[in-house]
Amino acid sequence: MKVIVGLGNPGRKYELTKHNVGFWAVDQLSDKWDLPFQKEKWNSRVAEGIVGGEKVYLLKPLTYMNLSGEAVGAALRFLKLPIEDLLIIFDDMDIPLGQLRLRQKGSSGGHNGIKSLIQHLGTEQFNRIKIGINRPPARMTVVDYVLAPFSESDHPIAADAAIASAEAADEWMRNDFLSAMNKYNGAILRP
């Protein structure tokens, strides 16, 4: 069994913001695998089904970004899921726009959603796909930046990166995380 979580904020207000590219990625997986988000449990919107003979859950936490660990922790405890079967997809300001970085462990890097996950999971050792969104311009706060939509020219690049991160997650499901890392680390892919 695998759990793939896209981090973001619920509601129309946040749909197109930089902080929601994790949601975009799991939406791509939902479409690719024909697993609609039809349920709410563990304080998340949930899609579930079988992919490549293995049970998979897609989660979009409803807790808002800064409390993501509450939802993910509840799901992992209920499912009794080992940490190596968890994958988190989220935005990262320290990576160039549209670039992917896959890691099996690491600190929060100042990302509040990841801080919450580390706190609730009790470990930094979980698979993650980071989607680059660039740093905010001078004089713009981090909060204002991540909660703003992408510019017209940046949006397609971010959308392509969400598609690429979904492909990387699919590779993890069908093979392993090392294979996904080898194929997609540093990639800026076009669909």
Catalogue all structural domains in the chain, each as residue range(s) with its CATH number. 2-184 (3.40.50.1470)
Q: Is the pLDDT assigned to residue 45 strictly greater than 80? A: yes
Contacts of 9 (CB under 8 A, 6+ apart): 17, 19, 20, 64, 65, 147
Catalytic residue among 19, 111, 120, 155: 19
Question: Residue 14 annotated as binding?
Answer: yes
pLDDT tens digits for range 104-129: 999 999 999 999 999 999 999 999 99
pLDDT tens digits for range 15-41: 999 999 999 999 999 999 999 999 999
Question: Residue 112 annotated as binding?
Answer: yes
Catalytic residue list contains 19: yes
Burial pattern 41-79, b for ≥16 Cβ within 10 A else e, equals ebbbbbbbeebeeeebbbbbbbbbbebbbbbbbbbbeee
Query: Are the beta carbons of 45 and 60 closer than 8 angstroms?
Result: yes
Question: Residue 57 annotated as binding?
Answer: no
